[in-house]
Structure 1
């Protein structure tokens, strides 16, 4: 258990939360901005659906590649040092994107961005495992996700309004400057790992190396709850993020027939709904935990409703018209119970393994986001090659994803009953 002196005072906890929230806001904005920029980038660089999916997924590829080393770094060096160091890569990524002259440069920049913001959620969650009491960890996790929704909200209409005024390249120079500011705020306000705690981590790491398995990622991978939650995180939660951060935009323009401005407006309302949902989860989670209502129960009972919304979206297709954004929003909101599993995974392990447990689970999630983003693009292109119109091809790819997502939820729910 954490030593009592690790627990932050209320004022210090708020300060630390806000410092980390600023960086996570920017990371979420970078994650989702391709949905808003997709018409511009498609026209300027002549991108296919698979290119757009790979470009958006490049962020998650870079993000996922950092997760395993990230966990060990967080446990050893602490959230402040690791987050500040990695954010420098995100600054470089924004600069490369702003200067890009072709698809290869755009993809490289997206990978750098993903690598650079890889600690923006894991760093605070690792710190919260040691600095906050369990019920507050659930609240802080939900409100960090709310901050991410705010960043995704900023990637919609605000970005669409800025494009005619400044263009997409200066936009990324501005994001690079804001990332530098976030680095400075974290460095000045977030506490470091206590020296005795760092020595303990180093000692445990040496013991792990000597024993070959104890306190390693192998121990995490063998954990029953981690194994049960992984398909849910990869496909259900990861797939929802993939749709929210990329395919919701093309769906609104290609299937629903919306203009880019109307699509950006729809994305704005989707992300606003997510923001309110995560804010509500932050209020409810400590109360529900106090009443003995487990996260698994909420996933089993609420998550299936998201599949109903997704099925309606695919079945109606163009017939949903201007209300397509409402079905997308409903699908995303009803998928959020699976997001609450992440802090439960962390609490299934001792505090000195929190960074590795969170990073391993985050690797699962972001690998899922990458696979779903690219997979839907590949599926849409495959259906088009069979002669399907673009709108029908995207509906077909989304329908296949829905079936796989339902199967992963069923596995989690069945194991929970057992």
Structure 2
């Protein structure tokens, strides 16, 4: 069924919500749910297939690897054909991956199926942002972008207690059949409801265009500070925080589900709070990158609690990890504000590529490290394994923070054009993963 082409501004508020925001936001919701669902399913997957920590980490992180690989092709496809044509096809791929995962009989089959899911969901956030940017007035973008981030947080939260409740009526295989059907339904909804965008001529995402992003001082300065903590946040909160609560804190599956739910729900509040603090600091002349550095210092301090095994507050540590970790999403807003408008779209794509490749390495590598120790009869690994893992993560994040602090204290030099990050950020900060 052909959908008539409309121009931006021709849609009313209700039509905008029903035809643009809701269908694409549902895709982002599903992406965040399926990205983190293995944290809740880990005990069942380990019991059914006898997975080692290394295999569990590789299985779950395959999503991140495929998600990263697809970023550049999806970015080019969105510029050429628009989200209304691209996103339904990708969601159909995700549906096929979910159905394949539900029927997987061994580790290899599940890894490939999980990668197909990541491939299919790799464009959900970018498609939503592009559709919203096309049809919603610029003055309303900050608030609508914040709502989109909140929907992603709701999706991550739905991967905890709601999934645990669903497991009372089905197993993980039946759950993935339902998720596959949901992906296909959302793709059909976008195809039927979303208006055809006005014709545009997007700039090609050539090798030179990508290199221009990576060479830009603002991009490099931001990535040097925030990129590694962002990959740690994504790689850990989707799987290993839940395993730590089970293996080290020795909480029951019900308690783990509840704490994961609180942590994922904290994404919503964390994103809103980070946006408010950054805007407040900007009015007082504090650079957004300085706000990011303060947040990352606090994020590393939380991880040190895992390293030393701060037993009196295991519950608080698990929630604080996700709540404070939302500061890492500020790099999208910093890059968007600091770089020329012609580079912002491809910059987001390049940033996604680095973040999800890093999250893949963190999630898989942490599992390999924990697997160096021997599990007990309940498949639980010792606290020292997790302490060493978190110590390695802290060691990886400290150089970027110390480099930033050193650059602030050394004698000031003239700032090159395009490298300044001052001013006010209006976009609420969070993960696209979102």
User: One fold, TM greater than 0.5?
Assistant: yes
Quick check: 1:150–1:271 contact (8 Å CA) kept in 2? yes
Bigger drift between 180-189 and 371-380 goes to 180-189
Summarize the Cα distance change of 1:416–1:45 in structure 2 as closer, same or farther, 3 Å threshold: farther
User: Does 1:277 find its partner at 2:267?
Assistant: no
Alignment partner of 1:391 is 2:383: yes
- Distance change in 2, residues 1:82/1:352 (3 Å): farther
Structure 2: unaligned runs, 5 residues or longer? 1-6, 413-434
For the 8 Å contact 1:234–1:365, the answer to whether it is kept is: yes
Query: What residue in structure 2 maps to residue 258 of structure 1?
Result: 251
Distance 1:305 1:19, change over 3 A: same
TM-score, normalised to structure 2, is 0.83
Q: Which residue of 2 aligns with 1:312?
A: 305
Contact conserved, 2:225 with 2:293, CA < 8 A, in 1? Answer: no
Structure 1 stretches of 5 or more lacking a match? none
**Pairwise CA distance, 1:238:** 1.8
Residue number in structure 1 paired with 2:188: 184
User: Structure 1: how far apart are the matches of 2:270 and 2:162?
Assistant: 21
1:245, distance to aligned residue in structure 2 (A): 0.5
Q: CA deviation at 1:77?
A: 1.8
Out of 327, 335, 346, the residue aligned to residue 325 of structure 2 is 335
1:144 aligned partner? 148
Q: Secondary structure at the match of 1:234?
A: helix
Q: List per-residue Cα deviations over 1:226-271 (Å, max 9, x = no partner).
A: 1222244432112112111110111000010112221111111111
Report if aligned partners of 2:92, 2:120 keep a CA contact under 8 Å in 1.
yes
Mean Cα deviation higher: 7-16 or 398-407:
7-16
Alignment of 1:97-246 (within 5 A): 97-132=101-136, 136-195=140-199, 197=200, 200-201=201-202, 204-205=203-204, 213=208, 216-246=209-239
Quick one: distance in 1 between partners of 2:295 and 2:103? 45
- As a proportion of its length, which structure holds more helix? 1
For the Cα contact (< 8 Å) 1:220–1:226, is it kept in 2?
yes
CA deviation vs aligned residue, 1:365-404 (integer Å, no higher than 9, x gap):
111111110111122223559xx96321122111210221
**1:66/1:115 contact within 8 Å kept:** yes
Aligned residues: 398
* Cα 1:293–1:328 shift into 2, 3 Å: same
User: Does 2:23 match 1:19?
Assistant: yes
> How far apart, CA to CA, are the structure 2 residues paired with 1:13 and 1:106?
38
CA distances 1:6-51 after superposition (whole Å, capped 9, x unpaired): 5676545544222221111111111111111111100110100100
For the residue of structure 2 that corresponds to 1:165, the secondary structure is coil
Contact 1:75 1:354 in 2 (8 A): no
TM superposition shift of 1:150 = 0.9
The equivalent position to 1:55 in structure 2, one of 38, 49, 59, is 59
